[in-house]
């Protein structure tokens, strides 16, 4: 479980562009799966999002965030899976 640290200007801009709320980001960091990177950064993602009260019961797209070694959010995106 990660806590929400500082959000970079890029991450905040991406969140606004993609309609990702602070509540959704907090949910992601609290309940997401973490992949550690070689440079100390972490990729946090939700593969199967569960509806929460902050989302109004509507599942949101799969999300991921890149967090640096200090715990600051660098960017936030919607995950896209292509089917063959």
For residue 32, give Cα distances in angstroms to 27, 54, 57, 83, 84.
8, 16, 18, 23, 26
Taking the mean position of all CA atoms in its chain, how far away is CA 6?
A: 13
The pLDDT value given to residue 53: 54
* Tens digits of residue pLDDT in 6-60: 899 999 999 999 888 999 898 888 888 888 988 888 988 876 545 555 555 554 5
Mean pLDDT of 64-78: 89
Res. 81: pLDDT tops 70: no
pTM of the model: 0.72
Q: What SS3 class is residue 14?
A: helix
């Amino acid at each position: 479980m990660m806590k929400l640290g500082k959000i970079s200007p890029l991450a905040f801009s991406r969140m606004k562009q993609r309609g990702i709320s602070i509540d959704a980001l907090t949910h992601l960091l609290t309940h997401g799966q973490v992949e550690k990177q070689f440079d100390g950064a972490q990729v946090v993602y939700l593969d199967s999002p569960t509806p929460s009260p902050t989302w109004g019961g509507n599942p949101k797209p799969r999300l991921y965030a890149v967090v640096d070694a200090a715990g600051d959010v660098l960017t936030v995106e919607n995950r896209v899976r292509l089917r063959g």
